[in-house]
Structure 1
Amino acid sequence: MSSLSLEEIAYQEIRRKILDVEHMPNDLLSEQDLAEQFGMSRTPIRSALAHLETEGLVVTLKKRGVLIKEIQLQEVFDMNDMISAMQFYAIDIAEENEYPYDFELLEQYEQRVKEAAKNNDSKDYYENALLFMRTIILTLGNQSMIQIFDSFKDKLLVFHLVQRKLHHVNRPYMAIPYIETVLKSLKDKNIPQAKSALKMLVMIEERRR
């Protein structure tokens, strides 16, 4: 028997459908329909939707329902700029203080990205590419920076999956050579090359939109 609250059950399932792009941007959700679907009252549904709204995935429209938020390209630019800045800062501080990178974890995410591309699993591909970048920031152990990254991750994931579903279903997966270069450069302590590859990794999908 699940120990999760009704709110958590509803939150996780609605969030899953958003991340799996079963609910697409500009789809309108009804509290009543969701309550009937999950077999619960509207109270936990309302709380779950409020949680998703704080994460920037939905928007409440007065007397109309809850809209799946469309992630605008400018917001993606802004988030990518912040991620690049955090990664560059993490690399600089790690180099200055000789902090060790978790190369084992970075290699795991690299392998998962390759496997996802081979299997044409877009969600795993983008998610593990983002987790690769997160691991670099994690080197500093700065929880505030990780919280910022985590507040971006799902929105970036949804943006990329929606773009691929709507416009570029069969386009190739281009992140792999940049991830390989980042990993090799960090191991070789080639900081300029690592930063250059990271910049391309962050920007590649928005440039090919």
Structure 2
Amino acid sequence: MASSASAAERAYQAIHDGILNGVHPSGTMLGEEALATAIGVSRTPVRTALARLQDEGWIVIYPKRGALVRGLSERAVADLADARLILESTAASRASADARDGLAERLRHSIAAQREACEANDLRRFIELTIGFHRTFVEAAGNDVLLELYDRLADRQRFLLFSFGDRLVARCADIITEHETLVERLRTGDDAGFADVLRNHLVDNYATQIGAAPRSFRSAAPADERR
């Protein structure tokens, strides 16, 4: 029993990570036999893992054909960006004045590492650094519930960023500049400016439109931009 459960978990982690990291992109049809051979397990734990991944919404199983990797709909992408805007801007605004300088310095080190990854064309490292960079804004609030909610978005963030790999590479320098601006807004306590920069950053990275920043953090923008 333990061995079977271990094999199923290993199969799940391998397939799950492959989906998130772009090894199995959206639209890929996965076959049980090929997966079992690649992972080094029998087809039974692979079948268990695929059922679990279907329950989580990552794939759709077609009997006798395989499992189709799902993408995120335009609505799901917009919802993800909107949720991140709310969580990150709200949390950053709650960082104490004393903590802001320390956070800014910590994030500058992250930006330096991002620049190195960008110059080395190391997309995987750049994505992981970017996810950690933005998570720091939520950590700054010192609110475990906000952080728990944010961490639930991590898999979707990773999946989407790998899906937009070419776009990220093309925007690498711009992304780093935007990260530097976010750090400066955080350091100076410019909550409205932080939210506006973050909103545009998410729109450009995700190629989507999202709602305006939370009301208390909006700057004076034209009404059309707030729709």
- State TM-score, norm by structure 2: 0.74
Q: Is the 8 A contact 1:90 1:139 kept in 2?
A: yes
Tell me, in whole angstroms, the C-alpha distance in 2 between the residues paired with 1:15 and 1:122: 19
Q: Give the letter aligned to residue 28 of structure 1.
A: M
2:218 paired residue number: none
After superposition, the Cα gap between the structure-2 partners of 1:139 and 1:169, relative to the gap in structure 1 and judged at 3 Å, is closer
Residue-pair matches, total: 203
1:198 paired residue number: 198
Instruction: Show CA shifts across 1:72-94 (max 9, x none).
Output: 22211110001101112112333
| Unaligned residue ranges in structure 2 (runs of 5+) | 209-227
Instruction: Show CA shifts across 1:105-126 (max 9, x none).
Output: 4234322221221112223223
Tell me, in whole angstroms, the C-alpha distance in 2 between the residues paired with 1:71 and 1:17: 16
Displacement of 1:52 in angstroms is 3.4
Tell me, in whole angstroms, the C-alpha distance in 2 between the residues paired with 1:127 and 1:163: 14
Q: Secondary structure at the match of 1:100?
A: helix
Displacement of 1:179 in angstroms is 0.7
Percent same amino acid at aligned positions?
27
Q: Secondary structure at the match of 2:60?
A: strand
Tell me, in whole angstroms, the C-alpha distance in 2 between the residues paired with 1:169 and 1:186: 23
| Unaligned residue ranges in structure 1 (runs of 5+) | none
Q: Give the letter aligned to residue 198 of structure 1.
A: L
Q: How does 1:1-209 map to 2 (within 5 A)?
A: 5-94=6-95, 100-101=99-100, 103=103, 104-165=105-166, 168=167, 171-173=170-172, 174-207=174-207
Q: How well do the aligned residues superpose, as a CA RMSD in angstroms?
A: 2.9
- State TM-score, norm by structure 1: 0.80
Displacement of 1:26 in angstroms is 1.2
Displacement of 1:10 in angstroms is 1.8
Q: Secondary structure at the match of 1:159?
A: helix
Instruction: From the CA coordinates, give the structure whose radius of gyration is larger.
Output: 2
